[in-house]
């Protein structure tokens, strides 16, 4: 497709390459900015030149180079801003710190997990920097967002343990500008300034709405509603989270495009009875205002911003009666978010969110024509299923790369949970709107509680089915890239109806699949030993022996290590007391 028809689709490519280039090429901010100025200047000259055609390759090349160095410049600025100080590359000694709590949440083990902006450190001159702090629960009722505290302790650089299948915590926290972690005792914390419950704070609204949900829900139903409606997952148990992961429904637990799209449809439907008082355009504008308020309450996550920006642009375009290129709007929203924070390019949620929407826009128009029904309900189920399949096509590379597993029954889950998500959001919106009517709130609360219970039962049932997940996948970055290239070739073959391209896509896909499954077979059956200072893992064929000190068997850390290893190297797990093994 020509450049001018979908410009942002083409421009996002060099911009992302510019961001990623900083990881591989040492490029200072001044040098990158200098190149940006040069190419932008040449572009300005070419733009006003009458001798160079508007759509000439020279202008397009200059635009590409300008966006390439714009990406690298922004990343250079962000890297410098979030650069880890030299003094914190190793474990520091105990010091006094003064900082303000930016974000906080409660962990399942009873800690208050905070991101603290430390503005002062004893005996050191350093700029303001963010730190991840865990404080025991004695003070959790006093410490809130915006609280200023004096605390005493030491910090370690956030570092991966290195065990097989481990989640990349270093990269996850680096995208948030956080590089150090510390565990602080309650007696070493002093509250200097109590955090004011500002009405402009997202936490303020989330806490208020959570209290409303607590008044009608309890247990994991409350935890699930909190995650689905408000994007707060701290109340979910590990078991519930794992069940959603096994069924390919983790996207349900994070406010994303699915929720924003459903909420927009609900709002537009609610305004329909008042169309004599509120015109269609006014209804759209009011709905968009509510969507942005909702995005604010849920904390402006990358997936929420992407979805709200995209739906806002589509809706405004429809108000003006103009056709929109969904891909162009999707690319524009990605460009906007990456300009705000280039580190989002490494965020797993950002990657999965955009690739899912990309799959829907590319493949859904063709998948929905495969089968249809004259019955409206069945047709809705078919369309929902095809949307899920389209999203799964383009998210498979990242799913296998990051999580080493594939949910075999994702189609069943998608059919069941699409309807539940609509009902739950509608009921939640109803409770928030009519909370001041006790009887009505009580009735709707009962319906919501039963709906959540049924949803959990369905997810548990699917999760416990035989072969619910396929584990042991281990992809490298080259395999991920080749998979995406194959997916693009497949799309071109379908959209252009080119049989030769289809053969190329099928051949390429077959070769990569053989490579992936061969590596998976090796992961499942090979024998090796992994040793660390505190534990040992021995894999002998299809059996995994975990040698841990018996006192640590019930700890979250041990459970996580075992889960991660079994995910990458599936096998029958056997726990062995480490202290009973002779070390000779």
3-class SS letters over 41-91: HHHHHHHHCCCCCCCCHHHHHHHHHHHHHHHHHHHHHHHHHCCCCHHHCCC
* CA–CA dist 193, 148 (Å, integer): 5
Listed by start position, the domains of the chain span 7-81, 86-193, 347-404, 477-524, 528-580
Mean pLDDT of the chain: 82
Q: How far apart are CA 323 and CA 315, in angstroms?
A: 11
User: CA nearest 354: which of 397, 386, 394, 406?
Assistant: 394
Question: Best-predicted range by mean pLDDT among 186-200, 292-306, 435-449?
Answer: 435-449
Report the percent of the chain where pLDDT is more than 70.
89
**Averaged pLDDT for residues 222-243:** 83
Number of other CB atoms surrounding residue 546 within 10 Å: 20
Selecting from 2.40.50.140, 2.60.98.20, 3.50.50.60, 3.40.50.970, what CATH number does the domain 86-193 have? 2.40.50.140
Sequence-ordered list of residues with C-beta below 8 angstroms from that of 560, at least 6 positions apart, any chain: none
Q: What is the pLDDT of residue 412?
A: 80
Of the two residues 86 and 494, the one the predictor is more confident about is: 494
Higher pLDDT, 130 or 200: 130
Q: Which tens digits make up the pLDDT trace of 141-161?
A: 677 777 888 988 888 888 888
The torsion region of residue 53 among left (phi > 0), alpha (psi -120 to 50) and beta comes to beta
Residue 483 pLDDT level (bands cut at 50, 70, 90): very high
Instruction: Please report the pLDDT score of residue 86 as a whole number.
Output: 36
Average pLDDT over residues 249-275: 80
């Amino acid at each position: 497709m020509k450049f001018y028809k979908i410009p942002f689709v083409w421009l996002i490519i060099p911009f992302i390459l510019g961001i990623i280039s900083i990881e591989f090429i040492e490029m200072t901010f001044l040098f990158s900015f200098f190149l940006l100025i040069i190419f932008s200047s040449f572009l300005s000259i070419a733009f006003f030149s009458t001798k160079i055609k508007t759509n000439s390759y020279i202008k397009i090349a200059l635009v590409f180079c300008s966006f390439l160095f714009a990406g690298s410049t922004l990343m250079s600025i962000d890297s410098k801003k979030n650069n880890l100080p030299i003094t914190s590359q190793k474990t520091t000694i105990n010091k006094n710190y003064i900082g303000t709590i930016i974000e906080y949440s409660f962990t399942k083990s009873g800690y208050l997990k905070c991101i603290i902006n430390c503005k002062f450190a004893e005996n050191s001159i350093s700029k303001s920097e963010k730190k991840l702090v865990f404080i025991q629960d004695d003070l959790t009722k006093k410490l809130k967002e915006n609280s200023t505290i004096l605390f005493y302790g030491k910090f370690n650089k956030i570092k991966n343990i290195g065990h097989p299948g481990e989640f990349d915590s270093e990269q996850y926290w680096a995208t948030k500008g956080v590089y150090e972690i510390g565990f602080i005792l309650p007696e070493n914390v002093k509250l200097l300034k109590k955090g004011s419950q500002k009405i402009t704070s997202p936490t303020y609204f989330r806490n208020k709405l959570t209290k409303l949900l607590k008044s009608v829900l309890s247990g994991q139903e409350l935890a699930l509603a909190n995650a689905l409606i408000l994007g707060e997952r701290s109340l979910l148990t590990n078991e519930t989270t794992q069940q959603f992961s096994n069924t390919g429904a983790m996207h349900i637990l994070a406010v994303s495009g699915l929720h924003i799209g459903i909420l927009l449809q609900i709002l537009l439907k609610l305004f329909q009875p008042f169309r004599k008082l509120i015109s269609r355009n006014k209804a759209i504008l009011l709905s968009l205002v509510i969507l942005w308020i909702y995005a604010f309450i849920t904390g402006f996550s990358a997936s929420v911003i992407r979805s709200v920006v995209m739906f806002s642009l589509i809706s405004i375009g429809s108000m003006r009666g103009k056709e929109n290129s969904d891909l162009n709007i999707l690319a524009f929203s990605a460009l906007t978010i990456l300009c705000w924070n280039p580190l989002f390019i490494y965020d797993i949620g950002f990657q999965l969110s955009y690739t899912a929407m990309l799959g829907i826009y590319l493949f859904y128009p063709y998948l929905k024509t495969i089968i249809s029904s004259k019955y409206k309900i069945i047709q809705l189920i078919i369309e929902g299923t095809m949307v899920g399949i389209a999203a799964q096509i383009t998210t498979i590379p990242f799913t296998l790369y990051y999580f080493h597993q594939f949910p075999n029954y994702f189609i069943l889950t998608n059919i069941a949970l699409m309807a539940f998500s609509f009902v739950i959001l509608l009921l939640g919106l109803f409770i928030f709107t009519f909370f001041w009517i006790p009887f009505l709130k009580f009735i709707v609360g009962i319906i919501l509680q039963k709906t959540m219970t049924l949803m959990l039962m369905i997810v548990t049932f699917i999760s416990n089915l035989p072969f619910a997940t396929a584990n042991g996948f281990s992809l490298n970055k080259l395999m991920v890239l080749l998979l995406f290239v194959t997916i693009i070739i497949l799309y071109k073959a379908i959209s252009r109806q080119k049989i030769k391209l289809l053969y190329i896509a099928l051949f390429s896909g077959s070769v990569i699949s053989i490579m992936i499954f061969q590596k998976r077979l090796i992961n499942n059956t090979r024998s090796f030993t992994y040793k660390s200072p505190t534990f040992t893992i021995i894999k002998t064929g299809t059996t995994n022996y975990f040698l841990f000190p018996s006192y640590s068997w019930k700890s979250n850390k041990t459970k996580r290590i075992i889960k991660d290893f079994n995910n990458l190297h599936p096998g029958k797990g056997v726990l062995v007391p480490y202290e009973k093994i002779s070390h000779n």
